[in-house]
Structure 1
Amino acid sequence: MDDFSQLVFTTGISLIPFVFTLMFSILILGSSHKLLLGDKTLSMSAKFPRQLTLALLYFIAVISIVISLPVEKDTRNQVLGLLGILLSGVIAFSSTALVSNIMSGLVMRITKPFRTGDFIRVGEFFGRVTEAGIFDTEIQTEQRELVAFTNSYLLAQPLQVVRSSGTIISANLSLGYDLHHKKIEALLIDAAESADLKDPFVQIIELGDFSITYRISGLLEEVKSLISARSRLLANVLDTLHNASIEIVSPGFINQRRMDDKPPVIAKSPRSKKTDTLPEATPEELIFDKAEAAEQQEFVEQQLMEQIKTLQESLKLATPEKKEKYQKQLSIKQAKLARIHQLKKEQKS
């Protein structure tokens, strides 16, 4: 009996470090989970670094529990070695592409080459960003299609981003040598100004065998109307040149046509009818509907987060009379932000 009591006592003593480490780990992990992820108003981008921190804490807790096991040193080392093998196997068997995508996603979150709603070009694809995740990035093209790129692919490819402060749009056309370039340049600049482009300029791109190639360019400050602005510029170039009795036809057609008294090939502008019509929706509203909604959603989300932070700071310093008012406003803002996060989850599912 004495030997049994001694064995129980010895076993109990040896279990104390293990039990203490286990209880302490549970307490720390529970508190950390509540502290890091307890705020339901956090956005996905704000949650990600906290989730990484929590994963690191879980890893440290597992190692600490294994070290505190009441077993022989050799057995403990074998368990640690087994954990190392399991971890290496997980990394090895989860494809290198997955690890590469995660690392690329981290790099892009740090560098932030674009944001939701920006126009980007990747290879032959052009469109607006609808979602930028840790594994992939999704854009909406001019055909209203959704195209997803892995972040490792984006990081390896040349990425063109249209600056939100403005972009240059251009149009090329060829005209004959019988037209003086000074006259053409003035007309093209008028066309660009009519298309609401700022600081337009004309370049002579090529002196061909039968024609001169011109390029008219200008700064578009409202980049959301990029598609409409390009079409509007081309239409204004047509109208401006036709109104100046300058025809735009192929060099072969000009050289092969008999030069007689027949009128030039210029399309006549139809008579405009003065009717009260509602403003038409722009093509961008139809083409980039998801990208526009995602950008607006992100903008509202950022505003709400800033307002919630301000209200939380004001609540700490507020008098008892104003605390109830601030608390009510804070609850409303948090409910709106939670609703936005819920909508995001529903859109992804």
Structure 2
Amino acid sequence: MTMVSIFNSLIENLTLHWINVFYIASIIIFSTILTIFLNIFYKNLKQKGKIQNFPVKKIWLNLGVAAAAIVLILTGLPGISNNIVRLIGVVIGAIVAFSSSTLIANFMSGILLKIIEPYKEGDMVKLKNIFGKVYHIGLLHTEVQTPFREIVNVPNLVTISDIITNYTKGGYLINVDVSIGYDISHNKVEDMLLHAMKLTGLSEPFVLVTDLGSYAVKYRAKGIIRDVTKIISTESRLRKKILDEFSINDIEILSPFYVNMKNVPYNKCIMAQNPGKAPAKIGEKKPEEVMYERADKEVTKKNKKRAEKNISHAFKKIIPE
């Protein structure tokens, strides 16, 4: 082997080496720029309120770009056979398929929810024994804000495979139980309960006798509330009206605990004094305004954007550009 051939071989090897280095560096630089660009793009969408659950999407995005870069680097390196590349691709595909099986199922369930629309943002629902107001409907999960101000993420796969109860569409039937002594006519009790429900603003009220106990008769007052976002406060207001109604009529709301735990003279009635008309409380938030504050703000913001969009389209139809 002459010096010239050795020199040519060395130059060829160095050239091939630098080509490989340049190839790998190019893929790394391109992948980094692409990741930065996509992260900035999704971050802008998040700030505009067009995307939810950004951290999870960011992780999947970065993993996808990294996996694609690794495959491209391996396919371009000399000395690595196509069989090894195929094997690596199969392993990566199996890992992704195994880890994303639930992800795909949630994604398909999210599409199905968008089609059938069993509920929309702002509705009062019960999903998998979780009661609250729908805060956001995504392709992977539904966010619900509970009366305890918690934001609960319910996977769409769980939602679509379980019973969905939507109280907004049909209204909610409020139930309040009360125990009254046998010495009071059930007709009189029913009239007072009906009056209390009418004062509360419930529609189609009615009263049931649910139990004939050892010490009292158990009644159940039921009425429909159309604005289901105020279930909690309406139930509380109904109980207050019932207390006031029975107190005004000097009728005691009985409980067996009086007999079991404390000796009470037969001629003594235990009842609250007539409270009269409660003073109006100015500026005080309703319970639901505190419970579902975040969900209400999100729904209001989206409704405002939707209204602005509709107005803009209407103006374009009236005044074409």
* Shared fold (TM-score, shorter chain, > 0.5): yes
The letter for the 2-side match of 1:166 is G
Structure 1 gaps, min length 5: 1-39, 46-77, 324-349
Q: Does 1:312 align with 2:310?
A: no
Distance in 1, matches of 2:242 and 2:301, equals: 37
Residue 297 of structure 1 is matched in structure 2 by: 301
Distance in 2, matches of 1:261 and 1:213, equals: 22
Distance in 1, matches of 2:255 and 2:281, equals: 37
After superposition, residues 133-152 of structure 1 pair within 5 angstroms as 133-152=138-157
The letter for the 2-side match of 1:283 is P
Distance in 1, matches of 2:297 and 2:195, equals: 35
After superposition, residues 92-111 of structure 1 pair within 5 angstroms as 92-111=97-116
SS of 1:149's partner is strand
After superposition, residues 97-176 of structure 1 pair within 5 angstroms as 97-164=102-169, 166-176=171-181
SS of 2:142's partner is strand
Structure 2 gaps, min length 5: 1-44, 52-82
Work out whether residues 164 and 223 of structure 1, in 8 Å CA contact, stay in contact via their aligned partners in 2. no
Distance in 2, matches of 1:147 and 1:140, equals: 6
TM-score for the superposition, normalised by structure 1: 0.61
The Cα offsets for residues 219-256 of structure 1, whole Å up to 9 and x where unpaired, read as: 21222222211110111111111211111131242577
Residue 271 of structure 2 is matched in structure 1 by: 266
Q: Work out the number of aligned pairs and report it.
A: 245
After superposition, residues 37-52 of structure 1 pair within 5 angstroms as none
Work out whether residues 131 and 146 of structure 2, in 8 Å CA contact, stay in contact via their aligned partners in 1. yes
The letter for the 2-side match of 1:311 is F
The letter for the 1-side match of 2:158 is Y
Matching residue within 252, 257, 261 for 1:247:
252
Residue 291 of structure 2 is matched in structure 1 by: 287
Distance 1:237 1:282, change over 3 A: same
Displacement of 1:206: 2.2
Residue 199 of structure 1 is matched in structure 2 by: 204
Q: Does 1:184 align with 2:189?
A: yes
Distance 1:99 1:176, change over 3 A: same
Distance 1:272 1:233, change over 3 A: closer
Distance in 1, matches of 2:198 and 2:134, equals: 29
Distance in 1, matches of 2:118 and 2:238, equals: 29
TM-score for the superposition, normalised by structure 2: 0.66
Distance in 2, matches of 1:303 and 1:273, equals: 39
Distance in 2, matches of 1:268 and 1:193, equals: 22
Distance 1:286 1:43, change over 3 A: closer
SS of 1:179's partner is coil
